[in-house]
Structure 1
Amino acid sequence: MEAVEVAGLRIAYQRVGQGPPLVLFHGAGDDSRSWRQQLEGLSDDFTVFAWDAPGCGQSDDPAPDLSAGELGAITAGFLRAAVPAKPHLLGLSWGSLVVLELYRGYPEIPASLILASAYAGWAGSLPPEEAERRYARVLAEIDQPPETIINAWLPTLFTNKADPAVVAEATRIMADVRPAGMRALLSASGRADYRPVLPTIAIPTLLLYGADDQRSPLNVAHELHRQIPGSKLEVIPDVGHLAPMEAPDAFNTEVRTFLHGIAAA
């Protein structure tokens, strides 16, 4: 792991490979380890960076009342400190909110966006009652033992066809979640609504979803596709919410094809 200091916080990250920079932003309850198969599988063509978000992995805990704007500033600071040139940004689930917040405040930084299993925020993509239910549920779960959260979440993250070894790997990563980190991330993003940002996106954007995603269903994907000008939507069959872990070869192929297409344009 490498690290940079941003806004008084140590932000840890992994870096492998050589080539154009591709930065990976993990989902809530995860850290950079969840990108193992992308760090291995894409590093032949790209310099792949995977951060530990504030409050996750080996990064410091931010203030519990972290705001969306503060998260965006930390993200921009991390990219300026750790990543050369204009990077391609890939956000998974909650990581897609990090990417959208970054774009909202700093649209000059990224070269392209890949939004995987993404929302425009719960408030921006789900019915109000469902968005509030998810917020209240996470708030109630924060101080519970990790195994309680894991048992509740795992069935919504993978299909029943997922490799048990991959599910076990995700379980080990989720077991290290820190209440302080989850509280800060919920503060920053739990009621986010990025619908106003979507029509302003003016760089190449790939939307990448699993066909059987229970948490970010395909109606969410199609709405983001409709709202983001010129975006491309790709759906991986028979895969759930954590598509990069469940179907890494198919996921990496879509990412590689998209980025090579940008380079050739």
Structure 2
Amino acid sequence: MVCVFYFPEASIKTVKISGNPAIALDYDGNGPLVVFLHGIGGNRTNWADQIKSLSPYYRAAAWDARGYGASDDYSHELSFEDFCHDLARLLDYFETDQAHLCGLSMGGQIVQHFYRLYPQRVASMVLAATFTHWRAVLSDEALAHYLSLRETPLVTEGKSPAEMAPAAAKTILGPLATPRQREIVEKSMAALHKESFLKTLRAATAFEPELALESVTIPTMLIFSEFDNLCPADYGQSMASRIPRSRFEYVEGAGHLINIEKSKQFDTLLLDFLSGLDSETE
């Protein structure tokens, strides 16, 4: 069993990778690169605990996807694959051919499609509370409700992301989430760039090309949880059953945002998975 220790945040660096658009990220540590990708309502700060836990052993980095956090907005409509090309730029910034990728929710969707486009650049995948495409986990009615909960306040009612955040956070956090965890999630949702978020909603939910999971040839771990109403654990198990060399982990007591709600358990699973890969190469 791997023990998790948290270290001071003072050494975490924030940089902005030039390009169109410029991409912001936090990172710390040295060694093999591990990149964390947030969900549709998040940003790089959602992965602060993971950077602290992994940086003594790896170079741990978390990005703001284009149009999120400190990353730049963009003028055109979003193609979902733009995220993948941005991620390739991030790997180039660190002058590495390969990275371990960990994505939650939409971040996991990006990881899968990055593997479709750049398979040689992915050392392993951790897919948390995610899906192959949105309609794999949501019926047309459920997807319409999901979109309405986010688009109606922002578009029809003219509200800001900060005004939308409490109601949206309530739908994805589990019943055991602490006030501090709610604060983290609401803060990241409040920081959403309104127009870029709406572009992402349209592009991500409509993007349906699916990675052929049976074709995956790299180590993959899937992490799902007890109280996730968006990405249920039985769906995660069905994904895992299709991926060779995959490992499935079930986290009790968490909702959709497993890395925030059960951060120590999540980090322990990550370190155990990655250290196992290190031992295979020795």
TM-score scaled by length of structure 2? 0.87
Identify the range of structure 1 (209-218 vs 241-250) with the bigger mean alpha-carbon deviation. 209-218
- CA drift of 1:23 comes to 0.3
Q: Which runs of 5+ in 2 are unaligned?
A: 1-13
Residue 42 (structure 1) aligns with: 54
Match among 63, 73, 81 for residue 69 of structure 1: 81
Please give the alpha-carbon distance, in whole angstroms, between the structure 1 residues aligned to 2:143 and 2:21.
Answer: 30
Contact 1:21–1:85 (8 Å) recurs in 2? no
The equivalent position to 1:226 in structure 2, one of 241, 246, 254, is 241
How big is the shift at 1:186?
Answer: 2.0
Look up the equivalent residue of 1:21 and give its one-letter code: L
Alignment partners' CA distance in 1, 2:17 and 2:213 = 30
On the 8 A contact 1:96/1:119 being kept in 2, the answer is yes
**Match 1:81 to one of 70, 93, 112:** 93
* Residue matched to 2:11: none
Structure 2 residue matching 1:113: 3-state secondary structure: strand
Residue 141 of structure 2 corresponds to which residue in structure 1? 129
Specify the code of the residue in structure 1 equivalent to 2:102.
L
- In the TM superposition, residue 9 of structure 1 has moved relative to its aligned partner by 1.1
What corresponds to 1:23 in structure 2? 35
Which of the numbers 16, 34, 43 marks the counterpart of 1:3?
16
Query: What amino acid does structure 2 have at the position aligned with 1:80?
Result: D
Partner of 2:213: 198
Deviation at 1:140, TM superposition (A): 3.2
1:106 aligns with 2:121: no
Match of residue 258 from structure 2? 243
CA distance in 1 between counterparts of 2:93 and 2:153 reads: 34
Higher mean Cα deviation, 227-236 or 249-258?
A: 227-236
| Correspondence 1:212 to 2:230 | no
CA separation in 1, counterparts of 2:45 and 2:236?
25
Indicate conservation of the 8 Å contact 2:138/2:230, yes or no. no
Q: Deviation at 1:236? A: 0.9
Q: Hey, which bits of structure 1, 4+ residues long, moved more than 6 A? A: none
Instruction: Kindly name which structure, 1 or 2, has the bigger radius of gyration based on alpha carbons.
Output: 2
- AA in 2 matched with 1:129: E
Q: Which moved more, 1:67-76 or 1:95-104?
A: 67-76
TM-score by length of 1: 0.92
Match of 1:156 in 2: 171
Q: Secondary structure at the match of 2:127?
A: strand
More divergent stretch after superposition (125-134 vs 252-261): 125-134
Tell me by how many angstroms 1:83 deviates.
5.4
The letter for the 2-side match of 1:4 is I
Q: Tell me how far apart the structure 2 counterparts of residues 109 and 142 of structure 1 sit (CA, whole Å).
A: 37
**Count of matched residue pairs:** 264
Aligned residues with identical type, % of pairs: 28
- The separation in 2 between residues aligned to 1:114 and 1:148, in whole angstroms, is 32
Can you give the 5+ residue segments of structure 1 that lack an aligned partner in the other structure? none
Q: Any conservation in 2 of the 1:124–1:195 contact (CA below 8 Å)?
A: no
Q: Is the alpha carbon distance of 1:97 and 1:81 closer, same or farther for their aligned partners in structure 2, counting shifts above 3 Å?
A: same
The root-mean-square deviation of aligned C-alpha atoms, in Å, is: 1.8
Specify the code of the residue in structure 2 equivalent to 1:3: K
User: 1:50 and 1:172 mapped to 2: Cα distance?
Assistant: 17
Change in CA separation of 1:83 and 1:257 when aligned onto 2, cut-off 3 Å: farther
Distance 1:4 1:38 in 2: 21
* Residues 24 and 89, structure 1, Cα contact 8 Å, conserved in 2: yes
